[in-house]
Amino acid sequence: MRVFPTNGPALSYGPGLDAPLRLPALMEHESVATFPSFVDEYLAGTGLGLHLFGDELMSRRPFVWELIKRTEGVEMAGEIWARASLRMANVHILLVRTVSRLAVDEIWQTAFLKSHTGSALSLCARSKGFPRLNRVAQSNLQMMNAFLGNVEEAVDELGKMEVGEDGDSYRIAIKRAVLLAQAGKTDLAKEALQRVPASFDDMRARRLRARLEGSA
């Protein structure tokens, strides 16, 4: 595990240098000012949001996994690094989702899931000092809990996190509705979506409402 210093000179790079070339220099110089933003912005650019809904596609860019393997063990303070770590955790959670659905050797599957759930938990723990990020992280972990088969527990825990009239609460309500719909509980899924006002323009909420109405 590498521990970065708390301060240091920032490095500047021209726009022509791509991510695989920038990462080694950033890590070598331990540039606190640049490194967290680089990781966070790169992962965000691949489509990895902070909230995880379970319908996301894994990026096919080879550098995504290389980036995570080389940086997830770095310990740094700060909200930007916590945000980057949350995006990395989401990759592990998506791997858990995928492998939990496969008919593969049980011993291999168990070891794989244990490894990646552990990584997701460790990465999400970096959000604890930041209340907003921590709530998002905990909701993502409940999605992972559902992928592992504990849907009812995940739905209950997500419901406890809908504590306000804000974007994060609405997104958590959408996650709860997604899980309920997947479990065949259409009426409860519709009820969950009622927490999301029409003024909150969200593509997943619109699609899910249409699908639920179509199944009525």
The answer to whether residues 205 and 165 belong to one domain is yes
Considering its fold, how many domains does the chain have in total? Answer: 2
Return the residue matching tokens 């998506």. 94
End-to-end CA distance of the chain: give it in Å, rounded: 53
pLDDT at position 60 is 83
Low-confidence ranges of the chain (pLDDT < 70): 1-33, 215-216
pLDDT at position 3 is 40
Domain boundary among 127, 149, 171: 149
Q: What is the pLDDT of residues 200-213, one digit of tens each?
A: 989 999 999 999 98
pLDDT at position 23 is 67
Domain boundary among 107, 124, 149: 149
pLDDT at position 12 is 38
The answer to whether residues 9 and 109 belong to one domain is yes
